[in-house]
Structure 1
Amino acid sequence: MSSRDRVLAAVAGLAGIAAVAATVATPGAAASGRYQDWDDTAYRGQIEVVRSDDGPADPTVLNGTVFNDRDRDSHHDRNERGLRGVEVSNGRDVVTTDSRGRYQLPVHDNMTVFVTQPAGYQVPVDDSNVAQFHYNHLPAGSPELRYGGIEPTGPIPDAVNFPLVESRLTDDSDLNCIIAGDLQTYNITEVEYARKGAIRDLSRRDDYQGCGSLFVGDVVGDDLSLYDEVKGLTAQTNGPARFLPGNHDLDFDATTAEHSFDTFRAQLAPAYFSYDVGEAHVIALNTVRYPCTPDLDNADGLRPECNDPVNRPRYNGFIDATQMEWLRQDLAQVDRDKLIVIAGHIGLLNWADEGSAIHQVDQVREVYELLHGRKAVALAGHSHSIENLRTGDSMQGWNDLFGVDSLPFPHLTVGAIAGDWFSGRVTEDGYPTALQRDGGRPGVLTLELDDASFQERFTVTGEPDREQTQLGLNTPAYRDWFVARDAWNDNPAGAAPELGDPLVVDQADLAGGTWLTTNFFIGGTGSTVTVRLDRGRPVQAVRTQAMQGEDQLIGPEYSDPVAVAEQLVHGGSVADRTMHLWRFDLPADLAPGTHRAHVTATDVHGRRYADTLTFQVVAQR
């Protein structure tokens, strides 16, 4: 293998680095005896819409029943009992069903009515495994939209009934929830990348049937005609698939926010909703407002992007007043000892865009007030990064923009199935490397629920769960190359600067400051990384971003050299910053020869992951 080939193999993490060994099992492995074949047991059906020639007696009120669909035909038969105490909403008002399962809700001209699945029951899914639990009411249909929006629904029906079936799995105290960020396929080629990558992984897992999968926005990349292709992907998964909207799921030709997600609502899900599994209450929010306007979004002057919605429409992280009222009423129905899992595409706060007002949610403090005193975790996508932000973490941008001193509960940015927008080399597995903005690899997050507690785990696409770290060497030679190659990429004149073998260090590198880097994908405050060099004692590595109120630390010295060497050569974002990078200084007097670094990364839950890196010290390159 040539020196150049060794570089590419090593930096891609595909060769030159010893395989990971870990002390944990793979959740993706089949759990014998616990789960049945999903295709054989899935409850397939739809909501029941009842109409008559005369219509309802009072068209200002929607009536309906939530019932136990014992024969699974989606029709409310006389011998099928209604279910008491189940939440139903029109997107603003929240009511609970009476002793016979009946509800009444005020009618609005443009509303989505949905049921909150209670633990111990399951809503139906269609043939693509998409959960069926809502009804759109828009009498005249959407305004003319490129991707169709919502067809005219006509007058309010006589009743909208919501069928459920009993489910042991949704009431389990031990549940796995797939949280999938930014599928974001722009074309059929990228649909196939997803199919060969993360979707294939999910098709081989059976451990998430009770909770299912939640795709946290940017389901497609602007082309909403691809929703049918997405449904072809979810048909391969093993559990209910739910979706919330992202900024690439918009009807961009909508002139008001009222209709900006009409096609999403017609094809996939309400813009926001909730459901219960085990001892958790999951809230899926719409945190994208488009087009944003100067009066609502830029009253404080922090979002000038929103000042010209007619000629230059933009989006903003925002929860409107109607949705906020629904959230208040929804939470009021939830026992205070339950875990609140609150998800949105644009995160309440995140690390990658901590200094940006539009890429975080304006109403973050209002949401915190509603969740005060509750056990909670926030989930998000959007930033194409993996972020395990813990209670008490603090960044300068959060304080400057929103007056938030520190996080009141964990926030998880779940990474992206698309990684860095499906960029980089296409591997022999049939999908791109697509290393993310922080150097992490593409994948999905699993939220492991245990009663009202949780643990998070990130699974790299195509890898077992023990693959949690990426090891490299940050040397003066690498830092010089970073600057030179970055400049060359902007103005590619002459031959491109070459890095050389990233696993060979000379005496000048050691004297100038060289450290071993560990990109611990799901690492956060409370995680540790120790390094044992050759036969020496383990020494703790130092995290580069302390999360103690500082600004982001950016530049070659704070970068992941494995990711950057791949990205600067093969395209994509450049991982010149990350909140989950640890470094261990190599001794300046390290003897020439072959050395092995043994790395142990321990997450906040005490799970340990082992990795090794073998490198050479030479007198001179």
Structure 2
Amino acid sequence: MAAAVAVAGPLALVPATVAASPSEGGAYRGEIEVVAGEEGAAGDSVTGTVFVDADRNSTNDRGEEGLADVMVTNGRDVVRTDSEGRYELPAFDNMTVSITQPAGYQVPMDEHNIPQFHYNHLPEGSPDLKHGGIAPTGPLPEQINFPVTESSRTADAAQSCVIAGDLQVTDEEEVGYARAGAINDLSERHDYAGCGSLFLGDIANNDLSLYPDVKDLVAETNGPARFLPGNHDIDFDSPSPEHAFDTFREHLAPEYYSYDVGDMHFVALNNVDYPCTPGHDSPEGVAEHCSDPEGDPQYNGRISDEQMEWLEQDLANVPGDKLVVVAGHIGLVNYADEGEFQHQVDQTTRVHELLEGREAVAVSGHSHSVENMEPGDSTEGWREVLGVGGLPFQHITAGAISGDWYSGEVGENGYPTAIGRDGGRPGVVTLDVQGNRFQERFTVTGESDDVQTQLSINSPTYREWYEQWSERTGQAPEPADPSVVDREDLAGKTWLTTNFFFGSTGAGVEVAIDGAPAEPAERTQQMQGEAQNVGAEYSDPYAASQQLVHGGSLADRTMHLWRFELPEDLDSGSHTAEVTATDAHGREFTDTLEFEVVEARK
């Protein structure tokens, strides 16, 4: 296969202007300023100042101005700073005080490019946890001051924002795979320095001692690196939900927070409830699933009541013309697990209501699949499990840096193929934004943005082989030459399939055989409220063959597969199919597949 240069449609938004990276100098390095008080003098409130750090020394020096109208939160309440940059909030143990970075300003970053904008207050520290949790912070400080510096990068209405699903490293070997793959790609890009990257949970794969290695990874990227927690970032030995993400909080970020860039407001949520308990608004089945939080703890996709109250306050402080990006590890909805409550979020309809009338997009990871779900899309599972009809705005499942958990063959570039359960490949999503409008793009690890499709042949010969081996991934022999079809194949329905990784409703695929006029291919999943189509006829033959032979999941369903039935009367001999995939924004991507027709297989 050979991909041609993509052709941008008339509505295309260009990526943000290339800017110097933090590694090239000029990055704002620093930390928050914590002013200790006298022992026992702390009251029941926390105070401080958000100030413009003119000399970039992280200290609120005489003459440095306070910044008005900045949102500050303790995780429950949200206030804005006064005309002098001052704030006051109720104080309690085990709170995280943080600010919402305002557009036009940048909070300091540490040496790993991780923004410093929060303070954990836990006087006695975490309970005894395997991975450490939060060290004792001692008494409430007299002041918690938040430095910022002016930034033209975060003021710009044109932004490119990297959205990265499940890094999910299990050991040092997988840290090396991530470095050789997506992290190397990001180190060579310089278009996201203002908005940075947002890693959507499952940062580690249960071994939280790898967080220092993860921080070394993102030190190689070229913008602020932000994180939210996933179900593999849990302190599983925590005696209570209140400390289930303490190690994550100590190393990476608050459990939930917000920040502004350009004309966007990002909300990073923790929607992993562990140990889960049912709520009054939980779907059917949650009560049984979460029935024994002490003896048999489970996780569920849910936003805590406290966090929902915070979210309402946060959004109430956001102007109605901002683009709101709602990010969580577990998708509000997704296609791969559309009929399962655990892998979607209990309060999806409530979040939709909070965002009614706004420009919005939801982004998530978790399912290790690439899904670009447009407004109006619907599935049987969303309706039956969550009571969700057509989507009110775009929802994106960003795939995974780890792909299918670093499975499959290790290629010459030093990382596994890791083809996903949808047939997609590892990569990252970028939101290219102008004002409050955006266009999404998916970049396959190690490839240019032109690589957007995967072509193969779905024939009766393939389907027979698939059915024989479909329950034995990693054990199948190599299939018959997939580029050869015989007369029996053509008579029994043979399709040329196009896995259009970020294809969506509004996209289309056309196929031209041997230079004849192009004809439309049919999408296998219409996303019009129907049940999920599963099985050999709906699989990606290239992906499934790789997985059945080399290991991994099985690409037996996808929302972004198109198929074109090959004519029964094709002449014997070699043929060339030229495939043009056009996305919902009018951008065109061209790919070709060569195949051979024989009278009968030998």
Shorter chain as denominator, the TM-score bin is over 0.9
Give the structure 2 partner of residue 373 of structure 1. Answer: 357
Give the structure 2 partner of residue 322 of structure 1. Answer: 306
> In structure 2, what residue type is equivalent to 1:606?
G
1:504 and 1:295 mapped to 2: Cα distance?
A: 55
Q: Secondary structure at the match of 2:332?
A: coil
After superposition, residues 219-368 of structure 1 pair within 5 angstroms as 219-294=203-278, 300-302=284-286, 304-368=288-352
1:238 and 1:488 mapped to 2: Cα distance?
A: 42
Displacement of 1:307 after TM fit? 1.6
Contact 2:183 / 2:220 at 8 angstroms: preserved in 1?
yes
After superposition, residues 169-568 of structure 1 pair within 5 angstroms as 169-294=153-278, 300-302=284-286, 304-487=288-471, 496-568=476-548
1:71 and 1:574 mapped to 2: Cα distance?
A: 55
Deviations 1:452-509 (A, max 9, x none): 001100000000000000000000000000011225559x7xxx55411100111110
Unaligned runs of 5+ in 1: 1-16
Displacement of 1:297 after TM fit? 8.5
Seen in structure 2, the aligned counterparts of structure 1 residues 303 and 28 have a Cα distance that, compared at 3 Å, is: farther
> In structure 1, what residue type is equivalent to 2:518?
P
Displacement of 1:305 after TM fit? 2.4
1:110 and 1:24 mapped to 2: Cα distance?
A: 50
Contact 1:275 / 1:283 at 8 angstroms: preserved in 2?
yes
Seen in structure 2, the aligned counterparts of structure 1 residues 498 and 192 have a Cα distance that, compared at 3 Å, is: closer
Contact 2:277 / 2:287 at 8 angstroms: preserved in 1?
no
1:379 and 1:29 mapped to 2: Cα distance?
A: 19
> In structure 1, what residue type is equivalent to 2:165?
G
Deviations 1:118-169 (A, max 9, x none): 0000010000111110000111111111111111111110000000000000
The two structures, once aligned, show a CA RMSD in angstroms of 1.8
Q: Secondary structure at the match of 2:391?
A: coil
Give the structure 2 partner of residue 585 of structure 1. Answer: 565
Deviations 1:191-245 (A, max 9, x none): 0000000000000011100000000000000000000000010010000000000
Deviations 1:561-619 (A, max 9, x none): 01001000000000000000000010011111111111111111111111111111111
Identity of aligned residues (%): 60
1:503 and 1:27 mapped to 2: Cα distance?
A: 37
Q: Secondary structure at the match of 1:612?
A: strand
Of 259-268 and 21-30, more deviation after overlay is shown by 21-30
Tell me whether 1:44 sits opposite 2:24 in the alignment. Answer: no
Displacement of 1:20 after TM fit? 3.8
1:243 and 1:437 mapped to 2: Cα distance?
A: 24
Contact 1:534 / 1:597 at 8 angstroms: preserved in 2?
yes
Contact 2:3 / 2:590 at 8 angstroms: preserved in 1?
no
2:40 and 2:52 mapped to 1: Cα distance?
A: 25
1:188 and 1:93 mapped to 2: Cα distance?
A: 40
> In structure 2, what residue type is equivalent to 1:279?
D
Q: Secondary structure at the match of 2:306?
A: helix
Tell me whether 1:141 sits opposite 2:121 in the alignment. Answer: no
The partner residue of 1:82 within 55, 66, 90 is 66
TM-score, length-scaled by structure 1: 0.94
Displacement of 1:24 after TM fit? 5.2
Q: Secondary structure at the match of 2:376?
A: coil
1:519 and 1:591 mapped to 2: Cα distance?
A: 26
Give the structure 2 partner of residue 574 of structure 1. Answer: 554
Contact 2:257 / 2:268 at 8 angstroms: preserved in 1?
yes
Seen in structure 2, the aligned counterparts of structure 1 residues 72 and 156 have a Cα distance that, compared at 3 Å, is: same
Contact 2:16 / 2:159 at 8 angstroms: preserved in 1?
no
Deviations 1:406-431 (A, max 9, x none): 10100000000000000000001100
Displacement of 1:301 after TM fit? 3.3
Give the structure 2 partner of residue 600 of structure 1. Answer: 580
Seen in structure 2, the aligned counterparts of structure 1 residues 36 and 385 have a Cα distance that, compared at 3 Å, is: closer
Contact 2:507 / 2:583 at 8 angstroms: preserved in 1?
yes
2:443 and 2:473 mapped to 1: Cα distance?
A: 32
Displacement of 1:37 after TM fit? 5.9
Q: Secondary structure at the match of 2:25?
A: helix
After superposition, residues 117-132 of structure 1 pair within 5 angstroms as 117-132=101-116
Displacement of 1:296 after TM fit? 6.5
Of 301-310 and 342-351, more deviation after overlay is shown by 301-310
Contact 2:45 / 2:89 at 8 angstroms: preserved in 1?
yes
> In structure 2, what residue type is equivalent to 1:51?
A
2:110 and 2:283 mapped to 1: Cα distance?
A: 43
Contact 2:272 / 2:329 at 8 angstroms: preserved in 1?
yes
> In structure 2, what residue type is equivalent to 1:484?
Q
> In structure 2, what residue type is equivalent to 1:119?
A
1:603 and 1:405 mapped to 2: Cα distance?
A: 24
Displacement of 1:538 after TM fit? 0.9
Contact 2:37 / 2:140 at 8 angstroms: preserved in 1?
no
Contact 1:177 / 1:448 at 8 angstroms: preserved in 2?
yes
2:349 and 2:543 mapped to 1: Cα distance?
A: 35
Give the structure 1 partner of residue 590 of structure 2. Answer: 610
Contact 2:22 / 2:113 at 8 angstroms: preserved in 1?
no
Displacement of 1:18 after TM fit? 2.7
1:250 and 1:402 mapped to 2: Cα distance?
A: 25
Deviations 1:84-131 (A, max 9, x none): 000000001000000000000000111100000000000100001111
Give the structure 2 partner of residue 11 of structure 1. Answer: none
Seen in structure 2, the aligned counterparts of structure 1 residues 592 and 236 have a Cα distance that, compared at 3 Å, is: same
Deviations 1:17-46 (A, max 9, x none): 2344322599999966x5466430110000
Contact 2:283 / 2:386 at 8 angstroms: preserved in 1?
no
2:150 and 2:342 mapped to 1: Cα distance?
A: 42
